[in-house]
Amino acid sequence: MAENGEEKLLAVARHIAKTLGHNESMADDVLQIFSTFDGRFSREKLSEGQPGEDGSTVTALERALNSLDSQISRFVAADQPIWADPADSAAFLDAIDELVNITREWSHVANEKPVGVCLARADEMLQQAMFRVEEEFRSLMERGAESFAVNSHRLDSDEEVEGDDDYDGDQIPVAQPLTDYDLIIDALPSATINDLHEMAKRMLAAGFGKSCSHVYSACRREFLEESVSRLGLKKRSIEEVHKMPWQELEDEIERWIKSANVALRILFPSERRLCDRVFFGFSSAADLSFMEVCRGSTIQILNFADAIAIGSRSPERLFKVLDVFETMRDLMGEFESVFSDQFCLVLRNEAVTIWKRLGEAVRGIFMELENLIRRDPAKAAVPGGGLHPITRYVMNYLRAACRSRQTLEQVFEESNGVPSKDSTLLTVQMSWIMELLESNLEVKSKVYKDPALCYLFLMNNGRYIVQKVKDGDLGSLLGEDWIRKHNAKVRQYHSSYQRSAWNKMLGLLKVDNTAAGMNGLGKNMKEKLKQFNVQFDETCKVHSTWVVFDEQLREELRISLARLLLPAYGNFIGRFQNLGDLGKGKNADKYIKYGVEDIDAHINELFKGSTTARK
């Protein structure tokens, strides 16, 4: 052992002499100084084993290699893990370091045959050592990951899994919901990370960096993909996503959102930190290894988002597509920070591309909504002139969409449209949809043969539209001016209905002062009363089956009709009753079928609608 120590000391002295001496003469001078300082550094001993100009002996090199071969072979052939004993692992690494140093020290004379033979042997020894280091590296990675998985398969819950006694090991447990993503997981024990770093350092120094990165990536990739699976996200192709029933896909989107957040905010940053610690000092190896670890899981997450982006643009999918868009938008910062190196550039760019594609999908869904409104048939009339299903659908749809107003503003601002001076692109889009809806309703109103019912239909639907706009974010988007204009439209429909349905009847209540004499006037008024009674009966019978869905509008209509009819009717029958015997007693009862109170009562029965019309 002492002999081995002296050899090492002499080797150090030789190395110093070579380092300080810029030429052979200077190196000789340094050696001379060493020999006068300590007897062990005699010129004979220091020169022993040094290759000379004539290719002299390499005895010292062979002796050193024999010693190292003995040590390394013992470790390489060991049945037990070397890193189970810290002393063994330290000795093994020391032997590797010494072998590497010797190889470097003699590499400048490798072209001399005896030295070349020794260095070839040293290279073979190093290769065998690296194979064993790689094996130990893999074993340590797997053992560390297993111990971590047992303690942390529920990333965010300390609660015990119900029915643990009956737990089936083949089933993958699903993580509970997370509310706080501000945490980093130590994926391996600190001591294990230090050991892995020491191994990685030797493998990279020996030129085995790719093998080291491959082993590391394979182990961590498997762990990461299993972690994502435990979050409830299954691997699916884009075609499989498109074939899923919508209800199942909605649930899958919810799982995807949670999985993407956990992956980008916890799992990937944790893997980044682990990579940087294991490959500390070797940034390129760390970046490559991290990309290989995360690529599969990242592609899985991005592929699902892409499947949603290029899938069906049916209007009912808007809100879930918005959820996916918002998730991608909110995670762009994580994509930028976690995948910041050159190896991850393609993943980062793909994330941006898919996020923009989701924005295109949202805009496409609004185009499909426009087509749905245009294509909605105008064949069947809504009973009683009530609210049309397309009105209810579109207005509730737009109100719900406006809850995501900020996101929609962003989506439409990223399109190529040009906003007007006072409006955003989203305002322009919403205004256009409203215009399409109103045009569609105008066409549908023509289905009614009775003009009064046509106006009542437009009044009903117009009032519903205005109320839905006023009561939500849609109102602030379209503005007060839009609301005022459409309120005026509803009042116009009201006037048109009243004029169409009641003006003719109102004309019957005008007294014809040109009639000749009392008898002529009485005869004229009797005829008008007969006609009024018939028309009033028929109108009340029909209009009582019509529907006005809005209680306030219904009351406004009744009050308006009462103010229109009651004074005219009261005045008319008053004049009739003042025509002497003709307007009194049984003669009056024969023609005056209704009192003023009766007219008012009948008006208050209007617009209640039949059972069908009220639906």
Sign (positive/negative) of CA torsion 573, 577, 579, 583?
positive
Between these two residues, 515 and 112, which has the higher pLDDT value?
Answer: 112
pLDDT in the model for residue 171: 47
Q: What is the pLDDT of residues 71-114, one digit of tens each?
A: 888 988 888 999 999 999 999 999 998 888 888 877 776 677 77
Place of tokens 């005869």: 523
pLDDT digits (tens, 9 = 90+) for 126-166: 999 999 999 999 999 888 666 554 344 444 433 333 334 44
SS3 (DSSP) at 59: helix
**For the chain, what is the mean pLDDT?**
83
User: φ, ψ for residue 439 (rounded to 5)?
Assistant: -65, -40
- Reference 300, options 360, 374, 351; nearest CA is 351
CA distance 457 to 469: 18
H helices present in 279-317, as ranges: 283-309
DSSP state of 233: P
Residue 202 amino acid letter:
R
Handedness of CA 536, 538, 544, 550 (dihedral sign): negative
- pLDDT higher than threshold 60 for residue 46: no
Q: Which amino acid is at 172?
A: I
Please list, in sequence order, all residues whose beta carbon lies within 8 angstroms of the beta carbon of residue 490, skipping any fewer than 6 positions away.
Answer: 459, 462, 463, 466, 553
- Given this model, what pLDDT does residue 576 score? 81
pTM over 0.95: no
Please give the average per-residue pLDDT across 154-183, as a whole number. 46
CA dist., res. 302 & res. 355, Å (int): 9
Structural Rg of the chain based on CA atoms: 46
- A 10 A CB-CB count for 105 gives 15
Instruction: Measure the CA dihedral 100/101/107/108, to 10°.
Output: 160
Closest residue by Cα to residue 361 from 308, 410, 402, 409: 308
How many C-beta atoms surround the C-beta of residue 168 within 10 A? 8
Does residue 373 surpass a pLDDT of 50?
A: yes
pLDDT confidence band for 170 (50 / 70 / 90):
very low
The stretch 466-474 carries a mean pLDDT of 91
HSE-up of 552 (CA within 13 Å, CB side)? 3
Residue 511 has pLDDT above 90, yes or no: no
> Virtual CA dihedral for 365, 366, 367, 373, nearest 10 degrees?
110
- pLDDT tens, residue by residue, 526-566: 888 999 999 999 999 999 999 999 999 999 999 999 999 99
What's the pLDDT score for residue 100? 87
What does DSSP assign to residue 263? I
What is the token pair recorded at 117? 């033979």
Instruction: Estimate the share of the chain in helix, then strand, then coil, as percent rounded to the nearest 5.
Output: 75, 0, 25
**339: enclosing H helix or E strand:** none
Of the candidates 296, 305, 297, 298, the residue with the CA atom closest to the CA atom of residue 238: 305
Is residue 177 helix, strand or coil?
coil
Q: Where are the domains of the chain?
A: 2-40, 87-148, 207-363, 371-491, 499-605
The CATH number of domain 499-605, selected from 1.20.1280.170, 3.30.930.10, 1.10.3720.10, 2.50.20.10: 1.20.1280.170
pLDDT, position 99: 87
Return the sign of the alpha-carbon dihedral for residues 115, 121, 123, 129: negative
pLDDT surpasses 90 at 119: no
pLDDT in tens, 283-302: 999 999 999 999 999 999 99
131, 395, 498, 502 from 445: Cα distances, Å: 84, 18, 16, 19
Write out pLDDT tens, residues 24-38. Answer: 455 555 555 655 665
- Which is nearest to 392 in space by CA: 476, 452, 492, 460? 460
Query: Which stretch of DSSP H or E encloses residue 75?
Result: helix 59-76
